Amino acid sequence: MPFLMGNTLNVWSQAIASFQPMGLPLGLVILAAIPLVFIALYSLTYGVYGERKISAFMQDRLGPMEVGKWGILQTLADILKLIQKEDIVPTNADKFLFVIGPGVLFVGSFLAYAVLPFSPAFIGANLNVGLFYAIGIVALEVVGILAAGWGSNNKWSLYGAVRSVAQIVSYEIPAAIALLCGAMMAGTLDMQKITMLQSGSLGFAHFYLFQSPIAWLPFLIYFIASLAEVNRAPFDIPEAESELVAGYFTEYSGMKFAVIFLAEYGSMFMVSAIISIVFLGGWNSPLPNIGSFALNDLTSGPAWGAFWLIMKGFFFIFVQMWLRWTLPRLRVDQLMYLCWKVLTPFAFVSFVLTAIWEIYVP
């Protein structure tokens, strides 16, 4: 039976892969995109569920308990409800921008999934400038946010959009420099190669975070900047519900709102995966080989690889949620101060120090 299944899958995948209209290898793209879409969807469903449960436990509550055991199907019920809702476009909204906004937003966060190596055997597109592409393509989100905020024809949305654009564009600078430190340690921008360079029998000791004492600095800088890039607390000022109602998606409801949500949780996983790949070994097992206990060998392989990357990603998502439910929100000028006067100089310092370390320390 398993052989049959495998064969059937192969037949299917070959059929999809051979779909090449006008000589373009569209079939291959679709084939790679299907599992990625599912990963994004799962990171939404279980991200939202996890967020509600984690916040509930932090606040002495139970969280969702009604739908399914421990409320595990709550997000599905929410999505079903959102699908049924009427699709409202405000009368005075710019209809075109209002409709494409959430789509562009989701595409922006989802395109970066293409270069994430989920296991030694699976990467959507093995670009040799993968890291550069991942940093660059995220900026597309800004276009979606601006379209959504401007198209809504609502003053609060406009404020949210303008804040968001300023924030994301600013925080890309320390984030990119911090990631460059990782790229410098690897000597390549290829995500798959960066991951492979961190594998070894000692497990976590090969990860770049533990390879040089300076790597902690870009690691922390990127983590803070990534919080701002995905609009998470304490940098959630673009949607600041107590100030701007809901920021750039104030006017959205139903499925469009769900797509914005999907984009948010999608990019949360995306930045978590990037930080895991660059600093924490991506799909490499963190367990070392201890004498005859070959833990590292036992927990390596394509399936284990996907497991480790997703687990590392979920760990960072957990930290993001932990911070969100603990800290108040920064003010918009304090946010800019943190970016330009604290994170960016320190990113440059860590860049120079990493370069010196890489040249003079073997």
Partner 1 sequence: MQELDTAGLGSVRVTRKSDNVVVLEKDLATEQMVLAMGPQHPSTHGVLKLECLTDGEVVTEAVPYLGYLHRCFEKYCENVDYPAIVPYTDRMDYLSGMNSEMAFSVAVEKLLDIEIPRRVEFIRVIVAELNRIASHLVAIGTYGIDLGAFTPFLFCFRDREHILSLLEWASGARMLYNYIWIGGLANDVPADFNKRVREFVAYFRPQAKELYRLLTENEIFVKRTKGIGIMPADVAINYGWSGPMLRGSGVKWDLRRNDPYSVYPELEFNVAVPDGKFSDIGDCLSRHIVRALEIDESLKIIEQCIDKMPGAEGFDPKSAIPKRIRPKEGEVYGRAENPRGELGFYIQSDGKSTKPLRCKARSSCFVNLSAMKDLSKGQLIPDLVAIIGSIDIVLGEVDR
Choice between 88 and 205, CB closer to partner 1: 88
Select 30 or 155, whichever has its Cβ closest to partner 1: 155
Instruction: Answer for the pair 163, 88: CB distance below 8 angstroms, yes or no.
Output: no
Q: Pick from 263, 265, 269: which is nearest to 309 by CA?
A: 269
Segment holding 119, helix H or strand E: strand 117-119
CB of 91 to partner 1, least distance (A): 6
Q: Got the DSSP string for 201-258?
A: TTGGGGSHHHH-GGGHHHHHHHHHHHHHHTT-TTS-TTT-HHHHTTGGGTT--HHHHH
| Residue closer to partner 1, measured from CB, 154 or 198 | 154
Q: Please, which residue, 19 or 340, has the CB nearer to partner 1?
A: 340
- Cα–Cα nearest to 142, from 172, 173, 177: 172
Residues 6 or more apart whose Cβ sits within 8 Å of residue 308: 281, 282, 283, 284, 285, 286, 299
> CB-wise, 204 or 257, nearer to partner 1?
257
Q: Which residues pair with 38 in a beta bridge?
A: none
Query: Does 341 participate in binding partner 1 (rule CB under 8 A)?
Result: no
* Distance in Å, CB of 195 to partner 1, minimum: 35
How many Cβ atoms sit within 10 Å of the Cβ of residue 93? 19
Smallest distance, Å, CB 95 to partner 1?
14
Does residue 319 bind partner 1 (CB under 8 A)?
Answer: no
Quote the tokens at residue 149: 């905020």
Distance CA 316, CA 147 (A): 29
Stretch of 55-63, 66-74, 201-209, 292-300 lying at the interface with partner 1 (CB under 8 A): 55-63
Residues 78-117 that bind partner 1 (CB under 8 A): 91-92
Q: Tally DSSP H helices, then E strands, for the chain.
A: 16, 2
Among 327, 342, 352, 356, binds partner 1 (CB under 8 A): 327
| Shortest CB 186 distance to partner 1, Å | 35
Sole binder of partner 1 in the list 7, 14, 128, 334 (CB under 8 A): 334
The tokens 């609502």 sit on which residue? 154
Residue 292 binds partner 1 (CB under 8 A)? no
Contact letters for partner 1, residues 234-263 (x by CB under 8 A): x-xx--xxxxxx------------------
Distance CA 38, CA 16 (A): 17
Q: How far is the CB of 318 from partner 1 (least distance, A)?
A: 16
User: Token match 């929410």: residue?
Assistant: 78
Contact pattern for partner 1 over residues 157 through 196, marking x by CB under 8 A: --x-------------------------------------
Q: Which residues bind partner 1 (CB under 8 A)?
A: 55, 58-61, 91-92, 155, 159, 233-234, 236-237, 240-245, 325-334
